[in-house]
Amino acid sequence: MKRSDASATSSAAIDEIERLESKYKSAKTDYYRYVIRSEDKDMLSKMIKIPDDWDNYKTRDGVRLTDSIKQRLSDIKRKMSWELKLQSLYIIYITGIENVILSLFQQREIEKQELKDAIDSINNISIELDDELLNIKHLLLTLAKRSISDFYYLVSAYCKFFYKKNFHYESDIRIVLNEFIRIINQQVQFSNSIRQFKKYELEISHFFQSSSNELGWRLNEFTVKEYFEKENKAMKIMEFNRLLKELFEYKNMLRNYFNFLKYYYNETDGKMFRMNFIFDSLKQKLEDKKISNDTFKTYENIRTSFIHYRTAFDIAGIRVFGNREMLYIDIVHLVYKLCKIMEFYYLRNMKYDNLQNLRNEYLVYIEKEIAALAD
């Protein structure tokens, strides 16, 4: 496939993934707007009927309320009032952080103000954890149960995947929140790195000419030879070594983020599993006439939209994962091209130790990865 054709195919795949993800988010918004708010409104209407003070309360004829019943009703009102208040205070913070972090894992471009708002939200929640640790845990689980936010399980999955241990909320929540701040702060650095990668990609592009091999290009050794004759060889090789290290680390980070999302989305114990569980629960409630058909259909739309998004994500695979300007496959090819340039230089200048190090640290791995991506 020609490079222009491959780029067009990649761009179309990314467009489709983003379209389906946007459709999924819209379905979630609709569910919150039309179902959750309606449930909260019904709850408030029931709570209003419970007086704050029972002294002047008059029951209807034939209705007798004991002191224990009054106390229980007051406790229910206090608990539900607190839950709704906590939800209204933190729902914007929590959903905002969740959306930003998931976008950053995919290396999407995000406005600096949105990144700043996410950090402010994390800091606000972190402060509240000092006094409301267990209450916020209860809130996060409630938001997950009501299909408003999956943030609790996102944090749990992050802990399991990257720290290789089960998530213990009381001791781990602050650690992961601080890690999320680090990821957000890194984004500016990554944006700058992408621009540098593009600059070097352009700089070395004339070293390679079209070929009928599976890569579509091959090294033009005469052009590379002329280039090094005009440049400060030692300085340029140092520069390429630094760039190669940065590219390889960024490549590995992208692969980790891709594999994490695959894990987080899975249907065994991940997001798809929870969505299926809620779907089956709502389906039973519909059969028992405990919810309306509209409520069920609205949630079904969320689940269906997520399935379509996840399917497109899986089909596209890691090749088109990452920032639009430098996708994973572009990073892999740039690493390989740099390796071939440096390999030529080391061979020509009989720097066999450097050549062996290059092969051991980078070239062997990147050749295997290129072969795997070509399958």
pTM, full prediction: 0.88
Report the distance separating Cα 66 and Cα 49, nearest Å: 17
Q: Look at residue 337 in the predicted model and tell me its pLDDT.
A: 94
CA 243 to chain centre: 26
Residue 194: how many CB atoms within 10 A of its CB? Answer: 20
C-beta separation of 7 from 221 below 8 A: no
**Tokens standing for residue 136:** 């916020």
In sequence order, which residues have a C-beta less than 8 Å from that of residue 196 and are 6 or more positions away? 243
Percent of the chain with pLDDT strictly greater than 70: 86
Q: Look at residue 44 in the predicted model and tell me its pLDDT.
A: 62
Q: Look at residue 214 in the predicted model and tell me its pLDDT.
A: 72
Which residue type occupies 228?
F
**Residue 254 reports pLDDT greater than 90:** yes
Report the DSSP beta bridge partners of residue 326: 323
Q: Look at residue 314 in the predicted model and tell me its pLDDT.
A: 96
Banded model confidence at residue 213, pLDDT cuts 50, 70, 90: confident
Q: Look at residue 32 in the predicted model and tell me its pLDDT.
A: 81
**Residue 279 reports pLDDT greater than 90:** yes
Q: Is the Cα dihedral 322, 327, 332, 336 positive or negative?
A: negative
Q: For 310-353, what is each residue's pLDDT tens digit?
A: 999 999 999 999 999 999 999 999 999 999 999 999 999 999 99
As a whole number, mean pLDDT of residues 157-161 equals 98
Strand 217-219 and strand 208-210: the pairing is antiparallel
Report the distance separating Cα 335 and Cα 342, nearest Å: 11
Q: Look at residue 6 in the predicted model and tell me its pLDDT.
A: 59
Q: Look at residue 7 in the predicted model and tell me its pLDDT.
A: 66
Of 82-86, 94-98, 262-266, which gets the smallest average pLDDT? 82-86
Q: For 86-130, what is each residue's pLDDT tens digit?
A: 666 788 899 999 999 999 999 999 999 999 999 999 999 999 898
As a whole number, mean pLDDT of residues 272-287 equals 95
Number of residues that make up the chain: 375
Looking up tokens 């002047």, which residue turns up?
A: 56
**Residue 3 reports pLDDT greater than 60:** no
User: What SS3 class is residue 59?
Assistant: coil
Report the distance separating Cα 315 and Cα 16, nearest Å: 11
Please give the backbone phi and psi of residue 11, each rounded to the nearest 5 degrees, phi first.
-60, -40
Beta strands (DSSP E) in the chain are 208-210, 217-219, 322-323, 326-327
As a whole number, mean pLDDT of residues 193-206 equals 92
Q: Look at residue 58 in the predicted model and tell me its pLDDT.
A: 67
User: What SS3 class is residue 210?
Assistant: strand
Task: Provide the residue ranges of all domains of the chain, joining segments of one domain with +.
Answer: 3-374
Q: For 26-67, what is each residue's pLDDT tens digit?
A: 999 888 887 776 766 666 666 667 676 666 666 666 566 677
Residue environment code for 17-32, b if the CB has 16+ CB neighbours within 10 A, otherwise e: beebbebbbebbeebb
Banded model confidence at residue 139, pLDDT cuts 50, 70, 90: confident
**DSSP state for residue 63 in the 8-state scheme:** -
**Tokens standing for residue 355:** 């050549």
Q: Look at residue 373 in the predicted model and tell me its pLDDT.
A: 87
Report the distance separating Cα 364 and Cα 372, nearest Å: 13
Q: Look at residue 301 in the predicted model and tell me its pLDDT.
A: 95
